[in-house]
């Protein structure tokens, strides 16, 4: 005895969901990246201080600025449809890693890491709501 199960409806819905996700997710990635970029820029927008003087707020955010190179080095780049990066360009501010990760003489000021920690829940929520909305749309 054979029993035939028709899964064409499920297949159709699966494909429709895939298409819908590929439509909405790049937009969600853009939104999350934009949020992360703005948060990082905020961390790099501390008060100006003169060359040769000791910077205020050691080890705290926002990072005080002397020559503005670090804040100018902030970049965002789309790597593919679903992956986007926010980074500090080493060609603009070669010292970015010393500021971010600290050295023997300076405390770290993790302008990128702190932004990720601060914005991760919001970014995940953007993704979650978009995905759920896509599933609901396809299910209708």
Partner 1 sequence: MTVRAGYIINDIQVVLFRLLSQYVSDTAPWTSWSCIMGWPESETFEVATKPFIYVMEPKLADTREQFGSGLTSQNLWEVIIGVWDHRQHGGPEEINIMCSQLRNLFTTSGVYTKTFNVTLGSTVATATTIKAQGLRIKYIAGPRDLSESSDVKDFRAEMNLGILT
Contact status, residue 109 vs residue 59, Cβ threshold 8 Å: yes
When binding is defined by CB under 8 A, the residue of 12, 103, 128, 132 that contacts partner 1 is 103
Contacting partner 1 within 51-80 (CB under 8 A): 59
- Nearest distance from C-beta of residue 34 to partner 1, angstroms: 20
67 or 124: CB nearest partner 1: 124
- Nearest distance from C-beta of residue 59 to partner 1, angstroms: 8
- Nearest distance from C-beta of residue 32 to partner 1, angstroms: 15
Compute the distance between CA of residue 127 and CA of residue 123 in angstroms, rounded to an integer: 6
Q: Catalogue the E-assigned strands of the chain.
A: 74-78, 84-88
Q: Among 39, 35, 56, 47, which residue's Cα sits nearest to residue 110? A: 39
Contacting partner 1 within 107-136 (CB under 8 A): 107-108, 114, 117, 120-121, 124
In three-state secondary structure terms, 112 is: helix
């Amino acid at each position: 005895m054979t029993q035939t199960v028709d899964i064409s409806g499920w297949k159709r819905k699966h494909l429709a969901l895939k298409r819908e996700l590929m439509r909405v997710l790049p937009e969600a990635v853009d939104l999350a990246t934009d949020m992360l970029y703005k948060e990082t820029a905020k961390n790099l927008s501390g008060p100006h201080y003169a060359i040769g003087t000791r910077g205020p707020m050691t080890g705290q955010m926002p990072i005080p600025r002397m020559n503005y190179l670090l804040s100018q080095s902030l970049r965002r780049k789309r790597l593919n449809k679903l992956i986007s990066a926010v980074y500090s360009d080493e060609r603009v501010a070669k010292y970015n890693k010393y500021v971010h990760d600290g050295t023997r003489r300076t405390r770290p000021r993790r302008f990128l890491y702190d932004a990720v920690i601060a914005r991760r829940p919001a970014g995940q929520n953007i993704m979650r709501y978009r995905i759920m909305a896509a599933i609901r749309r396809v299910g209708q």
